[in-house]
Chain A
C-alpha cells in the first residue's frame, strides 16, 4: 500500500469526488442496489478491492490499517456508499469487532485479528441472541466455564445473520451464574470451525437463508479469546449500540423505496388520483422529515458529541416509514400486489414484495421498536416505570 493519505486534510468536496469516482469506476454495476443481503461469494471481490485501496475500514485509525476518517468525512463516505447503491458486505468485523478490539482488545488480539479482517481472511458474525433471550438479552444462558487455559462453551445462539458465511463469531456468554444478570457476562471470540460448533441456516419468510442458529457443545476456546476483563462483556457490547442505532436509523431504505413508489405511480399515471397522492405525500414528507432529523443527529456526531438515548427515535420513525412505503407499494400494485420477484407493471419491472419482506424485520432487530420506545419513554421522557 502507498503512503498513508491524510484524508481529513482534503476539503469535503474533493474527498467526496474521490470517493464517488472510485465507486463508479470499481463497484460492479450488477451489484448496485441489491434487493437482498449479498452473500460472501458475490461481494468478496469488492471487499478485496476496497481492502487493496485501503478503504475497507474508513473509521479505523490509520495505524491499524484504517482511513482514520473524522466523523464529518466518515459521513461523506457512507453517504456516497448509499448514493451509489453499494451493497453491504459482511461487515461485522469492520463495524463491530474491529472498533471493539481497538478499544478493549489486548495487543496480541489486535495484531492477530485486525489484519485478518482487512485481508478478508476472517468474516465475523454476531452471536448475541438466544432462543430465550432476545429483547431481554441480558438473560442469556450460553455458558463458558474456565477449565485450565480454556473456556468450555455450551449453549445456543440464534438469528445469527449470515453465520453460514462467517469464519468467526463474537459472542456474549455467561461466565458467572451467581452475579446479577448483566454482571456475569463476558465477551468471547471463536473460530466457527472449532469442534462442537454446529450452524444451521434458518430460512426467512421470503425463502432466503439469511440467518442461522448455532449450537455449542463442549466447545473448547482458548482463554486468550476473551476480550477485556471477565464478566465485563455487557459494558463492552453496550458501547457499540450507539453506533448500531444510528446506522440502522438512516433514511436510505425509505428513500430507495419511495423512489420505486414514485416510478410505479408515474407508470400507472396516478398523478391525478387524489387518494393515492394524499397517501404518497404523507409518506414523502415522512421520508424528508426523517432525513432532516437524521441530519440533526449526524451533525451531533460531526461535532464529536456523544449521542444520547434520543437517537432511538431515528430507528423507530425510519423503519416504520419504510414499512408504510412498502405497504403502499403493494396497495398501489392492486391485483398484482401478491406477486413475487420482478413483476411487470405497465411495461416496467417492480419488486414490491422484496421491499415488504425486507421492511418487516427492521422493526425487530437491533432492539425492537417496542424496546426503543421503552427506552425513549424512560430515559428521554423520564416517565416512571
Chain B
C-alpha cells in the first residue's frame, strides 16, 4: 500500500486521518477522563483501548492479512499525536508499536497470529518485559534467561519498567538463550508470575515482573533475531518521541496563551522581554523536534536505511524530544507562576505525563550517548 500510493495521495490520506483522529480525540478522550483514571488499577480503560482498536489504530502498522492496515509511521504518528495530546493513558505505543513490532518480527504461527489479531481488534493487550532492574537498554541483553526443558522452556529473571503492567492480558518475556533472543508468552495472572507495580508521576504505573524457573510450553515460545528485536524497540522509541512532541506542543501553546492573557503591573506578562525570549526558545525547540521527527519518520517509512541508521534516527528523535519536553515543562511551570504548580490546572497533567514518558525506553542522555556510540566523531566528516 505504501509503495503504490503516490506522494499526493498519501498526504491527502494523512490529512483525512489527522482530521478523524483529532475529531475522535476531542470527542472521546477528554482531559477530565485522563485526570479521573490517574492511580486507578488498571490505569487505563480497556473498553477505550477496544474503541481505539475499533478505529483501526492498534492495527495501523500491522499487515492486512493479520487484521491490520499496513500503514506507515507517518500515519501512526498522526494518530499517536492526537491520542497523546489528550493524555489518554491507554498504552497505544507499548501495545500497537512495541509489542506488535516485536511479535510481527517473530516467525508466523498460530500463537503469534492470534496475538497480533488480538492486538488489532483490541482483545489482546501485551506488555513487553525486557529491561533489567537498573534499566539496561541493550536489546541483545534482555532481562530473562531461558533454557530448553523437556518439551518446553524454563524462564528466570526479573524485568522492570514494563508497560502496560496492570491491565495487560499477556506478558512477553524477552529472554536470552544459547541460541539468541526468545520470547515467552505468559498470560497475566499466571502462577509463578510475580508482578509489582511502581507508580509514576502521571498516575500510571510500570510493572516489575519476576519469574523463577517458570515453565512455559513450547507453543508459547516465539523467537526472533537480536537485530529484529532492536528494530522493534527503535520504532517504539520513535513513536514515544512523537508522544513527547504532542505534550510539549500543548505545554508551549498553553504558556503562549497565558503570556498573552495574564496581566501583572498593568500589562500582559508576555510583554516582558525576559519572558518573550524564553517563549521563543521553546518555539525553536518545538520546531527542531518536529523537523527531526519528520526526517526520522520519513526514513523509517522509506525503509531504505541500515539497522544502525535507523537506530541513529530513533536516538536523535528521542534525545531531542525528551530534552525539549522536559525543558518546556519547566519553563511552562515557571512562566505560569503559582498556578503552574497546582494539580487543578491542566498544565500539571502534561508535566506529569512528560515526567513519566521522557525516561521510558531511555531518557535524553541515554539516547545522546547511544547516538555518538553509533556515530563516533570522525576527522574530516561533514555534518
Residue numbers of A with Cβ under 8 A of B are 129, 132-136, 139, 158-159, 202-205, 207, 268, 275, 323, 327, 330-331, 333-341, 343-346, 353, 356, 360-361, 363-365, 368-370, 373-374
Residue B74 is within 8 A (CB to CB) of chain A in the complex: no
21 contacts between A and B (CB under 8 A): A136-B265, A204-B342, A204-B343, A205-B351, A268-B134, A323-B330, A334-B135, A334-B359, A335-B361, A336-B198, A337-B359, A338-B201, A338-B206, A338-B355, A338-B359, A340-B201, A361-B338, A364-B333, A364-B334, A368-B337, A373-B274
Of A139, A327, A333, A364, the contact of B340 (CB 8 Å cutoff): A364
In the complex, the answer to whether A335 meets B264 with C-beta atoms within 8 Å is no
In the complex, the answer to whether B201 meets A202 with C-beta atoms within 8 Å is no
In the complex, the answer to whether A335 meets B137 with C-beta atoms within 8 Å is yes
Nearest B residue to A370, CB-CB: B274
Could you mark each residue 196-209 of chain B with 1 if its beta carbon is under 8 Å from any beta carbon of chain A, else 0? 00111110001000
Residue B360 is within 8 A (CB to CB) of chain A in the complex: yes
Of B137, B330, B338, B360, most A-chain CB atoms within 10 Å: B338
In the complex, the answer to whether B341 meets A360 with C-beta atoms within 8 Å is yes
Known: A323-B330, A336-B160, A339-B201. 9 other contacts (CB 8 A): A132-B263, A205-B341, A205-B351, A331-B364, A335-B160, A336-B134, A338-B202, A339-B206, A360-B334
Q: Identify whether the interface residues of A are mostly helix, strand, loop, or mixed.
A: mixed
Q: How far is the CA of A343 from the CA of B205 in the complex (A)?
A: 12
Could you mark each residue 142-174 of chain B with 1 if its beta carbon is under 8 Å from any beta carbon of chain A, else 0? 000000000000000000110000000000000
Of B160, B326, B355, most A-chain CB atoms within 10 Å: B355
Nearest B residue to A134, CB-CB: B337
Which residues in window 35-69 of B have CB below 8 A to A? Answer: none
In the complex, the answer to whether B330 meets A353 with C-beta atoms within 8 Å is no
In the complex, the answer to whether B343 meets A340 with C-beta atoms within 8 Å is no
Q: Which residues of B contact A344 (CB under 8 A)?
A: 133
Given the known inter-chain contacts A205-B342, A275-B369, please indicate yes or no for A341 contacting B199, CB distance below 8 A: yes
In the complex, the answer to whether A134 meets B326 with C-beta atoms within 8 Å is no
Of A333, A335, A336, most B-chain CB atoms within 10 Å: A335
Given the known inter-chain contacts A129-B338, A158-B338, A323-B330, please indicate yes or no for A338 contacting B365, CB distance below 8 A: no
Given the known inter-chain contacts A136-B265, A275-B365, please indicate yes or no for A339 contacting B360, CB distance below 8 A: no
Of B272, B333, B344, B358, the contact of A338 (CB 8 Å cutoff): B358
Of B269, B341, B356, B366, the contact of A334 (CB 8 Å cutoff): B366
The smallest beta-carbon distance between A202 and chain B, in angstroms, is 6
Residue B256 is within 8 A (CB to CB) of chain A in the complex: no
Of A339, A368, A370, the contact of B200 (CB 8 Å cutoff): A339
Nearest A residue to B334, CB-CB: A363
The smallest beta-carbon distance between B135 and chain A, in angstroms, is 3
Q: Which residues of B contact A132 (CB under 8 A)?
A: 263
Nearest A residue to B364, CB-CB: A331
Q: Which residues of B contact A275 (CB under 8 A)?
A: 365, 369
The smallest beta-carbon distance between A338 and chain B, in angstroms, is 4
In the complex, the answer to whether B356 meets A335 with C-beta atoms within 8 Å is no
In the complex, the answer to whether B343 meets A207 with C-beta atoms within 8 Å is yes
Of B135, B358, B360, most A-chain CB atoms within 10 Å: B135
In the complex, the answer to whether A335 meets B263 with C-beta atoms within 8 Å is no
The smallest beta-carbon distance between B37 and chain A, in angstroms, is 15
In the complex, the answer to whether A360 meets B359 with C-beta atoms within 8 Å is no
Q: Which residues of A contact B263 (CB under 8 A)?
A: 132
Given the known inter-chain contacts A134-B264, A135-B264, A205-B348, please indicate yes or no for A364 contacting B341, CB distance below 8 A: yes
Q: How far is the CA of A134 from the CA of B360 in the complex (A)?
A: 36
Could you mark each residue 322-359 of chain B with 1 if its beta carbon is under 8 Å from any beta carbon of chain A, else 0? 00001000100110011011111000100110011111
Q: How far is the CA of A204 from the CA of B133 in the complex (A)?
A: 30
Q: Which residues of A contact B338 (CB under 8 A)?
A: 129, 134, 158-159, 361, 364-365
Q: Which residues of A contact B333 (CB under 8 A)?
A: 205, 360, 364
Of B135, B264, B348, the contact of A336 (CB 8 Å cutoff): B135
In the complex, the answer to whether A334 meets B343 with C-beta atoms within 8 Å is no
Residue B275 is within 8 A (CB to CB) of chain A in the complex: yes
Q: How far is the CA of A11 from the CA of B329 in the complex (A)?
A: 49
Residue B363 is within 8 A (CB to CB) of chain A in the complex: yes
Given the known inter-chain contacts A334-B135, A353-B201, please indicate yes or no for A361 contacting B341, CB distance below 8 A: yes
Residue B362 is within 8 A (CB to CB) of chain A in the complex: yes
Residue B131 is within 8 A (CB to CB) of chain A in the complex: yes
Nearest A residue to B352, CB-CB: A205
In the complex, the answer to whether B199 meets A339 with C-beta atoms within 8 Å is yes
In the complex, the answer to whether B134 meets A334 with C-beta atoms within 8 Å is yes
Q: Which residues of A contact B160 (CB under 8 A)?
A: 335-336
In the complex, the answer to whether B131 meets A331 with C-beta atoms within 8 Å is no
In the complex, the answer to whether B342 meets A203 with C-beta atoms within 8 Å is yes
